[in-house]
Amino acid sequence: MTQLLAPLLCGCLLLGSLTGCVSPTPEIIPPPDLSDVSGVPQPPPDLSQPDVSVPDGSGSDGPLFPIETPIERYPDGQAHKVTLLMYHHLTERPEEAEDNSMVVTAQRFAEDLDWLQENGYTTVLPRELVEGEPLPDKAVLITLDDGYRSNYTLAFPLLQERGMKAAIALICGKVDAQDPFYLTWDMCREMLRSGLVEFGSHSYWLHNLDERNGSYVKGQPNGIQRLDGEDLEAFQSRVLDDLERSAQRIQDELNTQVLFLAYPYGVKEPWASDFIAQRFAMTFRTKEGVANLTKGFYSLPRKTVSMDRKIQKCF
C-alpha cells in the first residue's frame, strides 16, 4: 500500500468497526505503513496543508449557498427507501486488497455492479433524490469516499460500460495539491460530463492529515469535531471555513452545485450542524442501515462493501 493511501484507509477501517461495519476492531491503531508492497522503504509523506494558490471564487458566479432544493424529504406513502453502499479505493492487485478491508479489487467492483443489475437494482444520484424524483423499486446509491485516482482509472470505466451511477466525496485539498494518488480536476470534469458521476465534499483538509497521518484516533476529536478548549471563532476558522472552501472549490472547478457532504470518519459535530444544514442538502455517515428518505436527507446511513463482505449481504 502506498505511504499516503494506507493511513487514510486504515483510519476508515477503524471507524467502520466502531460504527457497526463488519471490519474487525483493532485495539491499537497500527503505525502507518511507509513501505510499498515490495518492501522498499519510502520517505514519510508531507502531511502539512498544501501551500497551493487557488481561486477565491471572485471570478465565478459566486457561491451557490445557502442550498435550496425542491424537497427536504420524501412524503409519506411513496417509495422512500434507498440503500447507500460505501467504497473507497480500488486496485488491480489482490494483495493490496488483503491489506485493508476498505480496498476492493476492480474485479470485485465489477462483480458487484453486475450483481446489482442482475437483481433489478437501479443506481441513483443525490441530485435526483433532492429533486424528488420517484424512486425505483430497488434504488441504490453507490458512494466512493476520499477521491482516489482509482475512482477514475478503474471504477469509472466499469460504471460507463454498464451505464451505472456513483457519487464521489472529495478531499479537495488533495486534489488541489495534485497528489498523484488522488483525482485531478480534469478527471472530475470528464466524469461529471458523463452524467454518471456526482461530486460532493469530504472536507478540504479535515481528514486528520496532520501528525495522525490520516488515522482515526479513538478518544480524540476527529474530522470536523471541535477540539478541546476551542472557541467559536477558532472553530469557524478551522472547520466551517474548511467545509465552505471545499464546496466552493468544487463549484469553481466543475461549475456545479455541491449538494452533499460525507462526514470524515462519519462523525458529526453539534457546532457545525446549522452551517451544514445551510450549505449542504444531504449528508452521509458510516453508520450501518438503510436510508428512509421520509425522514429527510441528513445523516444517511451507509453499508460498507469489502472483500470480506459480499454485496449480497448489504441487502
Cα distance between residue 291 and residue 302, in whole Å: 8
Question: Angle CA(3)–CA(262)–CA(108) in degrees, nearest 5?
Answer: 60
The whole-model pTM stands at 0.82
Give, in order, the Cα–Cα distances in Å from 86 to each of 61, 102, 170, 309. 33, 9, 14, 12
Cα distance between residue 171 and residue 207, in whole Å: 8
Q: If we measure between CA atoms, which residue out of 92, 89, 93 comes closest to residue 171? A: 89
pLDDT at 40: 28
Q: What's the mean pLDDT in 140-148?
A: 98
Going by their DSSP bridges, the two strands 81-87 and 139-146 should be labelled as parallel
pLDDT at 8: 60
pLDDT at residue 31 tops 90: no
CA 139 to chain centre: 19
pLDDT at 1: 43
pLDDT at 214: 84
pLDDT at 78: 67
| Each residue's pLDDT tens digit, 223-282 | 999 999 999 999 999 999 999 999 999 999 999 999 999 999 999 999 999 999 999 999
Residue ranges and CATH numbers for the domains of the chain are 5-34+79-314 (3.20.20.370)
pLDDT higher at 49 or 283: 283
Residue 159 β-bridge partners:
none
pLDDT higher at 21 or 222: 222
Tell me the one-letter amino acid at 230.
E
pLDDT at residue 65 tops 70: no
Q: What is the percent of the chain where pLDDT is above 70?
A: 78
C-alpha cell at 205: 483538509
C-alpha cell at 259: 449538494
| Each residue's pLDDT tens digit, 149-177 | 999 999 999 999 999 999 999 999 999 99
Q: What's the mean pLDDT in 72-94?
A: 90
Confidence at 36, pLDDT banded by 50, 70, 90: very low
pLDDT at residue 64 tops 80: no
**Among the ranges given (37-46, 114-123, 150-159), the one the predictor scored with the smallest mean pLDDT:** 37-46
Using an 8 Å Cβ cutoff, are 161 and 106 in contact?
Answer: no
What secondary structure, in 3-state letters, does the chain show?
A: CCCCHHHHHHHHHHHHHHCCCCCCCCCCCCCCCCECCCCCECCCCCCCCCCCCCCCCCCCCCCCCCCCCCCCCCCCCCCCEEEEEEECEEECCHHHHHHCCCEEEHHHHHHHHHHHHHCCCEECCHHHHHCCCCCCCCEEEEEEEECECHHHHHHHHHHHHHCCCEEEEECHHHHHCCCCCECCHHHHHHHHHCCCEEEEECCCCCCCCCCCCCCCCCCCCCCCCCCCCCCHHHHHHHHHHHHHHHHHHHHHHHCCCCCEEECHHHCCCHHHHHHHHHHCCEEECCCCCCEEHHHCCCCECCEECCCCCCHHHHC
Cα distance between residue 99 and residue 28, in whole Å: 16
pLDDT at 23: 33
pLDDT at 123: 98
* Burial class of residue 212 in the structure, from the number of CB atoms within 10 Å of its CB (0-12 exposed, 13-18 middle, 19+ buried): middle
pLDDT at 117: 98
Using an 8 Å Cβ cutoff, are 289 and 21 in contact?
Answer: no
Confidence at 98, pLDDT banded by 50, 70, 90: confident
Q: What's the mean pLDDT in 121-150?
A: 95
| Each residue's pLDDT tens digit, 172-221 | 999 999 999 999 999 999 999 999 999 999 999 999 888 887 888 888 89
Mean pLDDT (the chain) is 83
